[in-house]
């Protein structure tokens, strides 16, 4: 799963405090919204096209979040001196690019309730 941190200016899984108004936080909000839409489409039994569209929008939101986090690392390189976070983001980006639409629906479209 994508490296989702906390909302609201707390410490993120990236290892440092990020403002609630930062680009990664806004992108995280978009990702969460797209995730809810995908789960809603699956739950209400929407057809394959709306579910597929929701899954692709989730992929785009995840990639935008990764890009925003990468930009934050470039802006503050002292926060990732060993490059571990950059490598993790690269791996996460490759994973999202490799996932099929069906795999996204299977992994993210169902709640664990």
Indicate the number of domains in the chain. Answer: 1
Range of the domain at 30: 23-108
* Residue 62 maps to a domain: yes
Q: What is the pLDDT of residue 69?
A: 93
**pLDDT (tens digit, 9 = 90+) per residue, 55-74?**
999 999 999 999 999 999 99
Apex 9 CA angle, 26 and 60, nearest 5: 25
* Residue 16 maps to a domain: no
Go through 81-108 and write b for each residue having 16 or more CB atoms within 10 A of its CB, e for each that does not. Answer: eeeebeebbeebbeebeebebeebbeeb
* Residue 10 maps to a domain: no
**Its pTM surpasses 0.85:** no
* Residue 30 maps to a domain: yes
Q: Does the pLDDT value for residue 82 go beyond 60?
A: yes
**pLDDT (tens digit, 9 = 90+) per residue, 19-55?**
555 888 899 999 999 999 999 999 999 999 999 999 9
**Cβ within 8 Å of residue 92, ≥6 positions away:** 2, 3, 62, 66
């Amino acid at each position: 799963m994508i490296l989702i941190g906390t909302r609201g200016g707390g410490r993120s899984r990236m290892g440092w405090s990020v403002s609630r108004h930062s680009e990664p936080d806004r992108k995280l909000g978009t990702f969460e919204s797209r995730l809810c839409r995908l789960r809603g489409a699956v739950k209400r039994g929407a057809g394959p096209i709306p579910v597929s569209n929701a899954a692709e929008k989730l992929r785009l939101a995840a990639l935008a979040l990764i890009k925003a986090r990468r930009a934050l690392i470039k802006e503050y390189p002292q926060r990732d001196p060993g490059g571990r976070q950059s490598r993790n983001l690269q791996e996460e980006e490759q994973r999202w690019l490799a996932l099929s639409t069906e795999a996204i629906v299977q992994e993210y479209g169902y709640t664990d309730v």
